[in-house]
Structure 1
Amino acid sequence: MPESPEVQALADELDSTLRGRTVGGVDVVEFRVTKTRGRPLTTLVGERVVGVTRHGKLFAIELDGSEFLVVSLGRHGWARWGSEAAGAEAAGAEATDAAGAASSAGTTDEAAAEPPPPTLVSFEFDGGPVLELTDAGGWVSLGCFVVDEPTEVAAIAKHGADPADPAFTRAHFDRAVAGRRKQIKAILQEQESLAGIGNAYSDEILFAARLSPVAHAATLADDELERLHEATIGTIRSAIEARSGIPIDRLKAAKVAAMQVHGRTGEPCPGGCGGEIRDFTFASTTAQYCPECQTGGEILPLKAG
């Protein structure tokens, strides 16, 4: 799921590329992407881009017709330039050919590239760029809204404070977290409490703070709350800085490579404790943690299937 560091880098690249350009055409491949049926995406044709901003995990393209195109990437959505799709398809075809040759020779190639995700809607701009919005999931999680203000989108209207915001303070953090009878990992991912954090970065934040993901916020001592506050702003802001300037087709790979515990199941703890990163079941997904560093050696449950 895209989270604030990658969405910020995406918004920055879209802003630098599209600002001042005019929407020349819109092709909606999957009608379910359009969430404002009374204001179809085709109404944006002829309007000029004023700027692009991030709102939690969403981004908004401001147009000179006093409208915004707000994009919710959902669980599997992303963006690419039109030329990237052709390159990805060619790379996928080459990998498939190589895999076929290896198979005929009696070997297998498990690293064969998967085909690129389908484009659900594309936007043409004057001067050549084509912005494609994709979705790799088995169900449509990508959503596009044409609104007068970004806050007309319910997900944005309900956002809590954003740890990436320079104006974010310890008071904002305490209002979102302190004293709550809820697991801290759930609070970190709750957009109404803290905007922009998902499964991956909540794992990273909790590892940095050396806290159990299933501990309730109400049980945290003052020093633990302070560690969690510092880890939250430090992890998110440093990740935003690290992703800055990375082309959007490389952002997902950069995120994966930067993770210390998320997605590192079975690897040695990077904290040098001698422990091993483990999985545990959280809500409808799987997360990672170090038992030695975070739970006092307790192994959290992992449901089968």
Structure 2
Amino acid sequence: MPELPEVEALRDFLDEHLLGKEIAKVLPVAISVLKTYDPPLTALEGGEVSAVHRHGKFLDIATADGLHLVFHLARAGWLQWKDVLPSGLPRPGKGPLALRTALTGGDGFDLTEAGTTKRLAVHLVRDPAEVPGIARLGPDPLADGFGRGDFAALLAGEPRRIKGALRDQSLIAGIGNAYSDEILHAARMSPYKLASKLGEDEITGLYEAMRDTLADAVRRSRGLAAGNLKSEKKSGLRVHGRTGLPCPVCGETIREVSFQGSSLQYCPGCQTGGRLLADRRMSRLLK
């Protein structure tokens, strides 16, 4: 799933490729992709792109006449830029293509989604806050005004384990499964640690690990073509997706815990004092 660093890099990429260009047509291909009907997608035709914004994991293409094409790539979605779009109208089918945005110059981009579970969501709104997922977002962890005290206030009284808290978009926007693993590894903290039980030094260490991990990933991704972002993300991960491999910090074998169709990875040497965490496959603790 694209998370804050990849979505920020896509924002940069689209800002460079879309700003000032005119939209010719936006064509939904998958039935499930479009979540709004007013205004209609035809309202975008002839509109000039004035800005590209990021809200957590949402991308927001704004036009000069006040419309916002907002999309969330979900777990298996991606953006494919094309300098020359295929001629003719795309046909609905069983392929990955979900939506095509064509520019008057002949270039544009496709939104695609792999797999059979379709969660990629596109909204056309006059105000991004009309999108429910944006309206309930918590603060951006890389925002200039988001300080250590703000982070501590969010965690105060938080009953969940820290892994689940970091992934909650209404608490902190933009962090998903992969970067929560990476942040906790950098902070040398167990994913099972209760957020409300963190000491002052632990909060400081976690805050710094969060900011540093995300900022470093953004730096590595910035300037890359959209098609190269997935491989860059994977190459920079230290624990996530590396079950059975040695930890690059201490050499201990990286372990995995599975839960509710997903999993987390951690290093016992760096994060749990050598203890192995119980594999709570049906756990509700790490939603």
Task: Say yes or no: TM over 0.5.
Answer: yes
- 8 Å contact 1:178–1:225 — kept in the other structure? no
Task: Give the C-alpha shift of residue 84 in structure 1.
Answer: 9.2
- 8 Å contact 2:242–2:254 — kept in the other structure? yes
Q: Return the structure number with greater helix share.
A: 1
Task: Give the C-alpha shift of residue 304 in structure 1.
Answer: 6.8
TM-score (norm 1): 0.85
Higher-Rg member (1/2): 1
Aligned to 2:210: 232
Structure 1 SS opposite 2:192: coil
User: Structure 2: which 5+ runs fail to align?
Assistant: 87-94, 283-287
Aligned to 2:40: 40
CA pair 7-207 structure 1, distance change in 2 beyond 3 A:
same
Q: Distance in 2 between matches of 1:40 and 1:132?
A: 19
- 8 Å contact 1:161–1:172 — kept in the other structure? no
Aligned to 2:274: 297
Counterpart residue type for residue 230 of structure 2: K
Task: Give the C-alpha shift of residue 277 in structure 1.
Answer: 0.3
Task: Give the C-alpha shift of residue 83 in structure 1.
Answer: 5.6
Q: Distance in 2 between matches of 1:156 and 1:227?
A: 28
Q: Does 1:131 align with 2:109?
A: yes
254-263 vs 295-304, greater mean Cα deviation:
295-304
202-211 vs 274-283, greater mean Cα deviation:
274-283
Aligned to 2:68: 68
Q: Distance in 2 between matches of 1:168 and 1:186?
A: 20
Cα offsets for 1:23-79 (capped at 9, x unmatched): 112221112111002333232111110010111001100012211001111111110
User: Structure 1: which 5+ runs fail to align?
Assistant: 87-116
CA pair 140-42 structure 1, distance change in 2 beyond 3 A:
farther
TM-score (norm 2): 0.91
- 8 Å contact 2:260–2:281 — kept in the other structure? no
Task: Give the C-alpha shift of residue 85 in structure 1.
Answer: 9.2
Counterpart residue type for residue 277 of structure 2: L
- 8 Å contact 1:74–1:141 — kept in the other structure? yes
Aligned to 1:89: none
Cα offsets for 1:239-286 (capped at 9, x unmatched): 1111110110000000000000001111111112x4110111244311
Counterpart residue type for residue 236 of structure 1: L
Q: Distance in 1 between matches of 2:252 and 2:160?
A: 27
- Alpha-carbon RMSD: 1.8
Structure 2 SS opposite 1:80: strand
Q: 2:264 aligns with which of 283, 287, 296?
A: 287
- 8 Å contact 2:69–2:123 — kept in the other structure? yes
Structure 2 SS opposite 1:39: coil
